[in-house]
Amino acid sequence: MFSKSCEYAIKATIYIAEQAGFDKRVGLKEIAQAIDSPEAFTAKILQQLSKNRIVDSVKGPSGGFSMDKKNLEVLKLSQIVKAIDGDSVYKGCGLGFNECSEKKPCPVHYKFKTIRDELRNMLETTSVKDLSMNLNKGLAFLKK
């Protein structure tokens, strides 16, 4: 569904959001441990998230990554996915055609349309807060 990078990005964002809820700023090392991801690779992804203003970062002692609490409801899964994987998930054709459309549908077009539309809708309506709330309730887990 998503690239590994994107999976890490989602996990990292959820973790940062969770900690931001406690007004905690968290460092790369802590994040990588929490979501069980390779540190250096995660650093790259956090850079992208930071550039895309999905998280904010501060250098130096007691620095690290955090998020604007007020933004947690507004920030949608779709924005993370877009920042890392682009819009391939949205406009991607089931058979990899890029000209695939309503007017020139590929053989699987109509079969896939519903599902991709729903996926899009789900990503666009699910906020980071939705996900981190689940996490706090113990209904879900982040680390393998």
Interaction of residue 82 with a second copy, rule CB under 8 A: no
What is the smallest separation between the CB atom of 70 and DNA, expressed in angstroms?
20
State which of residues 33, 48, 50, 126 lies at the interface with a second copy (CB under 8 A): 126
**Contact (Cβ atoms closer than 8 angstroms) between residue 124 and residue 46:** no
| Residue 66 phi, psi dihedral angles, 5° rounding | -155, -175
Secondary element (H or E) of residue 58: strand 56-58
Residue 60 beta carbon to a second copy: minimum distance, rounded to whole angstroms = 30
State both tokens at 93. Answer: 């054709």
CA distance 90 to 110: 15
Amino acid code (one letter) for 29: K
Partner touching 21 among DNA, a second copy, none, CB below 5 to 8 Å by kind: none
Residue 9 or 75: which CB sits closer to DNA? 9
Which residues here bind a second copy, judged by CB under 8 A? 1-2, 4, 7, 10-11, 14, 77, 92, 94-99, 104-112, 114-115, 118-119, 122, 126, 130-132, 134-135, 139-142, 144
